[in-house]
């Protein structure tokens, strides 16, 4: 579009604010500079500000670029450039902080994943070692287990008649105690009861013969399989015995 004459823009510049459009580093903003109503050059915005700082351009000069309605004092371009540079530096700083934060979060995540993998590998190795120890212990114990040839059941120890042996001995001892109590009462009584003596003698006799039976059976019966009560069992053959 056609710009106004710089001399006419002086009055407008006193009451108006002008800003230049945003631009990228690949497409720098081109501004036209005029002095005393005469246009004498086109510069990039950064170059115009640099020349203004060095004194090549003056504060009384005006500038214009596409998108502006009127010419504006060159000092306003300097202020706009300063604000733009501050905003650009703030944006770059923010982007740098975000980049560092993202890198730190990524690093922590990688460390956490690596730690989790190492922990999982360690737990897996410990589990394998524990299972191997259990298998070795079970195999070691089963090497000394008994095996029934009847039901094919494996067991650590065969069942014996130890309970029957204890019960038989207790019944025999109990019969003797009952018989002693019965006759003691009969002797000490003024008029002993024949029926009481007979009942005591009967209880003592039954206890004695029952205990004797259990005691005899416990000695006669061999150890047997806990499942089928068969006495046909043996230990597994050891490797040196198999050769």
pLDDT tens per residue across span 98-121? 999 999 999 999 999 999 999 999
* 210 in any annotated domain: yes
Of 13, 72, 77, 75, nearest in space to 45 by CA: 77
Given 84, 106, 137, which residue is the final one in a domain? 84
> Highest mean pLDDT: which of 25-29, 34-38, 121-125, 234-238?
121-125
Which residue is listed with tokens 């993998």?
Answer: 117
pLDDT score of 18: 40
Q: Using one digit for the tens of pLDDT, what is the confidence trace for 205-228? A: 888 888 777 767 666 666 777 777
> Mean of the pLDDT values across residues 178-192?
69
> Mean of the pLDDT values across residues 117-129?
93
Given 56, 84, 112, which residue is the final one in a domain? 84
> Mean of the pLDDT values across residues 57-75?
88
CA–CA distance, 89 with 80 (Å, rounded to integer)? 14
* 98 in any annotated domain: no
Q: Using one digit for the tens of pLDDT, what is the confidence trace for 144-167? A: 778 788 887 777 777 676 666 677
Residue 95, pLDDT > 90, answer: yes
Q: 147 - beta bridge partners?
A: 154, 234
Per-position b or e across 162-187, b if 16+ CB within 10 A of its CB: eebbebbeebbebbeebbeebeeeee
> Mean of the pLDDT values across residues 163-184?
77
* 11 in any annotated domain: yes
User: How buried is residue 203: exposed, middle or buried, by Cβ count under 10 Å (0-12/13-18/19+)?
Assistant: middle
Domain extent, residue 37, equals: 6-84
Residue 131, pLDDT > 90, answer: yes
Look at 46-50, 123-127, 199-203 and tell me which has the smallest mean pLDDT: 199-203
* 202 in any annotated domain: yes
Look at 54-63, 110-119, 183-192, 210-219 and tell me which has the smallest mean pLDDT: 183-192
Grade residue 5 by pLDDT with cuts at 50, 70 and 90: very low
Number of Cβ within 10 Å of residue 68's Cβ equals 19
* 107 in any annotated domain: no
How many structural domains comprise the chain?
Answer: 2
Structure tokens at 57: 């351009």
Number of Cβ within 10 Å of residue 148's Cβ equals 21
Given 39, 68, 84, which residue is the final one in a domain? 84
Number of Cβ within 10 Å of residue 147's Cβ equals 16
Residue 8, pLDDT > 60, answer: no
Per-position b or e across 205-238, b if 16+ CB within 10 A of its CB: eebbebbeebbeebeeeeebbeeeeeeebeeeee
DSSP 29: P
CA–CA distance, 91 with 62 (Å, rounded to integer)? 29
Structure tokens at 94: 């923010």
* 239 in any annotated domain: no
* 137 in any annotated domain: no
* 213 in any annotated domain: yes
């Amino acid at each position: 579009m056609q710009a106004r004459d710089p001399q006419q823009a002086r009055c407008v510049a006193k009451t108006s604010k002008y800003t230049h459009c945003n631009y990228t580093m690949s497409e720098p903003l081109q501004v036209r500079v005029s002095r005393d109503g005469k246009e004498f050059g086109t510069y990039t915005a950064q170059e115009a500000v640099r020349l203004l700082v060095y004194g090549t351009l003056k504060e009384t000069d005006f500038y214009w670029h596409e998108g502006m309605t009127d010419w504006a004092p060159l000092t306003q371009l300097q202020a706009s450039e300063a604000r733009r540079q501050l905003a650009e530096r703030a944006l770059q700083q923010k982007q740098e902080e975000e980049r560092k934060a993202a890198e730190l979060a990524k690093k922590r995540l990688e460390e956490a994943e690596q730690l989790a993998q190492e922990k999982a590998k360690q737990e897996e190795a410990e589990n394998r070692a524990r299972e191997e120890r259990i298998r070795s212990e079970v195999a070691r114990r089963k090497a000394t287990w008994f095996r029934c040839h009847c039901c094919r059941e494996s067991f650590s120890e065969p069942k014996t008649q130890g309970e029957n042996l204890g019960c038989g001995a207790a019944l025999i001892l109990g019969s003797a105690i009952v018989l002693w109590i019965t006759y003691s009462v009969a002797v000490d009584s003024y008029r002993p009861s024949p029926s009481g003596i007979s009942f005591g003698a009967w209880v003592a006799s039954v206890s004695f013969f029952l205990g004797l039976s259990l005691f005899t059976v416990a000695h006669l019966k061999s150890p047997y399989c806990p499942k089928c009560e068969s006495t046909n069992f043996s230990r597994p053959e050891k490797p040196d015995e198999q050769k």
